[in-house]
Amino acid sequence: MKEEQIFQIAIDGPSGAGKSTIAQQVAKLLGIDYIDTGAMYRAIGYKILERKINLDHTEEVIDLLGKTDIDFSKGNIILDGEIVNDQIRTPEVTKMASMCSALPEVRAMLVALQRKMGQAKSVVMDGRDIGTNVLTDARYKFFMTASAQERAERRYEELVAKGQNVNFDAVLADIIKRDHDDSTRALNPLKRAEDAIELDTTGMSITEVTEKIIKEIRKNGNC
């Protein structure tokens, strides 16, 4: 792909809005790479939990980051050479990922890596601050949301399908707490970029949301 053909798609939104699923579908249809930024934070959170590192011990966190490699290949996220797709999707890792995302050291490392990926090739990225911080010049920006109830139902069904024993009320409470934490954190809080198109996916199917985004992109000559 020539440099002038490179473009970025930024998809932001709260937990459980369906960003990752939609981003993957959009990337597949456009034939470009999907970068799961949320999974990158989850990978860091997973490693911190595994190593039993205290987030208050900044030097230990920085040392761990310096010895961490994260990559994507064939739909898999690879942490230090190991595929960790399932390991990073537990409630414990979800909470730790949110905590890690508030640490300047963690964000600096991952944001630098994400920007490098976006400069090298056409990509779809989803997360909390892609359009407002990571890819501020992205050609296409979308902000996906849905009611807390629906997002909790989606997450609950996903976890149950994976055989995890979870309580719906606990999942809903976690969604609401994460919304508050992500939106009020001092460092790059969750918010819609001024030039982003907002999509409320409540009651919409994956196909409907995907088609809406693809239609918007094709309006500008990319397909």
Sequence ranges of the binding site for ATP: 13-21
Q: Which residues contribute to the annotated binding site?
A: 13-21
CA dist 52 to 49, 70, 96, 160, 202, Å?
A: 5, 19, 11, 27, 38
Q: Which tokens go with 66?
A: 């310096």
d(CA 97, CA 87): 12
Instruction: Give the largest Cα separation in the chain, rounded.
Output: 49
d(CA 51, CA 46): 9
